[in-house]
Amino acid sequence: MTESAEPIRVGVLGARGRMGLEVCKAVDGAPDLELVAMIDQGDVLFSAEEGHAQVLVDFTSPDVVMDNLRWAIEHGINVVVGTTGFTEQRLDQVRGWLAAKPGVGVLIAPNFGIAAVLMMQFAAKAARYFESAEIIEQHHPRKFDAPSGTATRTAQVIAAARAEAGLGPMPDATKEEVEGARGANIDGVRVHAVRSAGLLAHQEVLFGTDGEILTIRHDSLDRVSFMPGVLLSVRNVGRLPGLTIGIDSLLD
Ligand SMILES: NC(=O)C1=CN([C@@H]2O[C@H](COP(=O)(O)OP(=O)(O)OC[C@H]3O[C@@H](n4cnc5c(N)ncnc54)[C@H](O)[C@@H]3O)[C@@H](O)[C@H]2O)C=CC1
Ligand SMILES: O=C(O)C1=N[C@H](C(=O)O)C[C@H](O)C1
| Per-residue model confidence as pLDDT tens for the chain (252 residues) | 545 589 999 999 999 999 999 999 999 999 999 999 999 997 777 777 666 899 999 999 999 999 999 999 999 999 999 999 999 999 999 999 999 999 999 999 999 999 999 999 999 999 999 999 999 999 999 999 999 999 999 999 999 999 999 999 999 999 999 999 999 999 999 999 999 999 999 999 999 999 999 999 999 999 999 999 999 999 999 999 999 999 999 998
Say if ligand 2 is within 6 A of residue 138 CB: no
Cβ burial of 42 (10 Å; 0-12, 13-18, 19+) is exposed
Q: Where are the beta strands (DSSP E) in the chain?
A: 8-13, 33-40, 43-47, 55-58, 78-81, 105-108, 132-139, 184-186, 189-195, 201-209, 212-220, 242-245
Atom index in ligand 2 nearest the CA of residue 18 equals 3
pLDDT at 28: 97
Q: Note the Cα 78 to chain centre separation in Å.
A: 16
Say if ligand 2 is within 6 A of residue 225 CB: no
* Residue of 25, 52, 101, 143 marked active site: 143
Atom index in ligand 1 nearest the CA of residue 113 equals 3
pLDDT at 3: 52
3-state secondary structure of 55: strand
Report the residue among 143, 153, 196, 199 best suited for mutation to probe ligand 2: largest number of ligand atoms under 8 A from its CB.
143
Confirm or deny that 95 is annotated as ligand binding. no
pLDDT at 252: 84
Distance 191 CA to ligand 2 centre (A): 15
Q: What is the largest CA-CA distance in the chain?
A: 66
- Is 175 considered catalytic here? no
- Is 192 considered catalytic here? no
Atom index in ligand 1 nearest the CA of residue 109 equals 1
Confirm or deny that 192 is annotated as ligand binding. no
Confirm or deny that 149 is annotated as ligand binding. yes
Ligand (nearest to CA of 69)? 1
